[in-house]
């Protein structure tokens, strides 16, 4: 072939490309197969029987195994990466992340995103912050659909051409109706006969505000993160393109492939499950969340949960709402450090993730 022209496409948007109020209807969409369900649900070591035991899930009124909120989040979030954050430096904050209809294997999720704010950095002309609001729907039957999730996020995005004008400003978020679907209490159902399938000490009555729970299990990450990220359609190159890093290691945190934040996000949820949400019927909202340190292959992830508060769920005496803070951490070597409540001798505890999280929890008096 005599090549007449060569094209090097640039994918994703840069700071100057975003327009206030603009809406992206993201490409692709994603059907949650049983393969994806298993890869992620089980990777996180989640223990809530809703996502592990179809007999239990059906008895509670769900159609089958329930996709855990962390996986719904990963699938929906990843749909937005190409348009919003393929050229990002960092994801700054998750805001008002709310869940709606339950998601099952076989459901197809499609997402759209509105630009709420664009703000150039005052200190670095190459950077700025984009604020977006996204909504994920699933198709129900041939013609209907249901909102499964909505959220806002702020992300630090590179500018490509410093000379270009930025559409600076901030507009109000839309009101997106998205409320957690809950199965009704079925008086004839013998819930107690299934009570052995979940933890005996994680009912609503068991939690006391002011408690901090250090979860027992840790999980060492490997280069598996490259595959886990790819199967989500997250195309950000800092997670999978070692050659790009090698060309300019100083530009990238740690000079190596960084693990996609969604991985510790879901893993921390899973590690906390046996102590916190084994008896949950779903996540209402993540008010805010952020990644506070990078994670690399070889690191071992741990989690803790703070119980912040408890409140009633109107109309549902069988359930209650638990306010929590989920904290993820790893241990890094720190020569000479003494042992403490926080870390063993010779190590310091590095927080990697935090999430303000409200969940709906069963009351023992109704279910066990």
Can you tell me the distance from the alpha carbon of 220 to that of 188, in angstroms, rounded to the nearest whole number? Answer: 44
Residue 11 or residue 124: which is nearer to a second copy going by CB? 11
Assess contact for 34 and 105: CB atoms under 8 A. yes
Per CB under 8 A, does 223 bind a second copy? yes
Assess contact for 277 and 361: CB atoms under 8 A. yes
Per CB under 8 A, does 77 bind a second copy? no
- Pick the binder of a second copy from 20, 185, 226, 334 (CB under 8 A): 226
Per CB under 8 A, does 7 bind a second copy? yes
- Pick the binder of a second copy from 8, 122, 187, 314 (CB under 8 A): 8
Can you tell me the distance from the alpha carbon of 263 to that of 103, in angstroms, rounded to the nearest whole number? Answer: 19
Per CB under 8 A, does 243 bind a second copy? yes
Per CB under 8 A, does 42 bind a second copy? yes
Count of residues that bind a second copy according to CB under 8 A: 88
Instruction: State the CB neighbour count (10 A cutoff) for residue 221.
Output: 19
Give the contacts of 227 (CB within 8 A, at least 6 positions apart): none
Residue 143 or residue 165: which is nearer to a second copy going by CB? 143
**The two structure tokens encoding residue 294:** 């990078």
Q: Coil, strand, or helix at residue 204? A: helix
Assess contact for 294 and 109: CB atoms under 8 A. no
Residue 49 or residue 128: which is nearer to a second copy going by CB? 49
Per CB under 8 A, does 357 bind a second copy? no
Per CB under 8 A, does 302 bind a second copy? yes
Per CB under 8 A, does 9 bind a second copy? yes
Per CB under 8 A, does 242 bind a second copy? yes
Can you tell me the distance from the alpha carbon of 18 to that of 84, in angstroms, rounded to the nearest whole number? Answer: 9
Per CB under 8 A, does 244 bind a second copy? yes
Per CB under 8 A, does 350 bind a second copy? no
Scan residues 312-341 and list those touching a second copy (CB under 8 A).
Answer: 325, 330-331, 341
Scan residues 20-39 and list those touching a second copy (CB under 8 A).
Answer: 25-31, 33-39
Annotate 328-347 with three-state secondary structure. EEEEEECCCCCCCCCCCCCE
Per CB under 8 A, does 11 bind a second copy? yes
Smallest distance from a second copy to CB 357, Å: 13
Assess contact for 304 and 354: CB atoms under 8 A. no
Residue 7 or residue 338: which is nearer to a second copy going by CB? 7
Instruction: Kindly give the pairing relationship between strand 88-99 and strand 144-158.
Output: antiparallel
Per CB under 8 A, does 63 bind a second copy? no
Smallest distance from a second copy to CB 54, Å: 4
Nearest by Cα to 18 from 157, 167, 171, 236: 167
The structure tokens 């200190």 sit at: 123
The structure tokens 């870390």 sit at: 343
Residue 314 or residue 336: which is nearer to a second copy going by CB? 336
Per CB under 8 A, does 241 bind a second copy? yes
Instruction: State the CB neighbour count (10 A cutoff) for residue 94.
Output: 22
- Pick the binder of a second copy from 20, 52, 96, 348 (CB under 8 A): 52
Smallest distance from a second copy to CB 49, Å: 6
Smallest distance from a second copy to CB 110, Å: 7
Instruction: State the CB neighbour count (10 A cutoff) for residue 201.
Output: 12
Smallest distance from a second copy to CB 100, Å: 18
Q: Give bridge partners of residue 350 from the DSSP assignment.
A: 330
Scan residues 162-221 and list those touching a second copy (CB under 8 A).
Answer: 196-199, 208, 210-220
Smallest distance from a second copy to CB 142, Å: 9
Scan residues 90-149 and list those touching a second copy (CB under 8 A).
Answer: 105-106, 108, 110, 139
Can you tell me the distance from the alpha carbon of 184 to that of 156, in angstroms, rounded to the nearest whole number? Answer: 42
Assess contact for 37 and 105: CB atoms under 8 A. yes
Give the contacts of 25 (CB within 8 A, at least 6 positions apart): 110, 112
């Amino acid at each position: 072939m005599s090549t007449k022209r060569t094209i090097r496409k640039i994918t994703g948007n840069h700071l100057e490309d975003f327009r206030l109020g603009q809406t992206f209807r993201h490409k692709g969409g994603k059907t949650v197969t049983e393969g994806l369900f298993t890869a992620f649900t089980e990777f996180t070591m989640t223990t809530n029987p809703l996502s592990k035991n179809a007999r239990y899930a059906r008895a509670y009124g769900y159609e089958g195994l329930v996709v855990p909120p962390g996986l719904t989040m990963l699938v929906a979030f990843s749909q937005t990466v190409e348009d919003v954050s393929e050229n990002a430096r960092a994801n700054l904050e998750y805001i008002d992340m709310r869940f709606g209809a339950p998601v099952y294997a076989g459901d197809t999720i499609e997402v759209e995103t509105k630009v709420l704010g664009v703000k150039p950095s005052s200190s670095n002309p190459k950077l700025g912050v984009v604020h977006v609001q996204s909504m994920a729907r699933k198709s129900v039957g041939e013609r209907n659909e249901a909102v499964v999730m909505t959220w806002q996020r702020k992300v630090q995005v590179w500018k490509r051409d410093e000379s270009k004008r930025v559409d600076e400003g901030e507009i109000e978020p839309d009101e997106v109706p998205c409320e957690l679907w809950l199965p009704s209490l079925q008086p004839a159902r013998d819930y107690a006969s299934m009570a052995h399938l979940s933890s005996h000490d994680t009912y609503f009555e068991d939690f006391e505000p002011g408690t901090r729970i250090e979860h027992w299990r840790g999980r060492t990450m490997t280069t598996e993160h490259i595959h886990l990220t790819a199967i989500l359609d997250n195309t950000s190159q800092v997670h999978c393109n070692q050659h790009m890093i090698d060309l300019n290691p100083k530009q990238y945190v740690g000079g190596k492939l960084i693990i996609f934040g969604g991985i510790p996000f879901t893993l921390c949820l899973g590690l906390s499950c046996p102590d916190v949400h084994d008896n949950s019927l779903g996540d209402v909202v993540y008010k805010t969340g952020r990644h506070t340190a990078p994670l690399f292959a070889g690191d071992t992830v741990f989690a803790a949960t703070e119980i912040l508060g408890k409140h009633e769920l109107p109309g549902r005496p069988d359930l209650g709402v638990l306010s929590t803070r989920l904290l993820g951490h790893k241990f890094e070597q720190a020569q000479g450090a003494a042992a403490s409540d926080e870390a063993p001798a010779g190590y310091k505890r590095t927080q990697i993730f935090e999430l303000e999280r409200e969940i709906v929890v069963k009351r023992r008096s109704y279910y066990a």
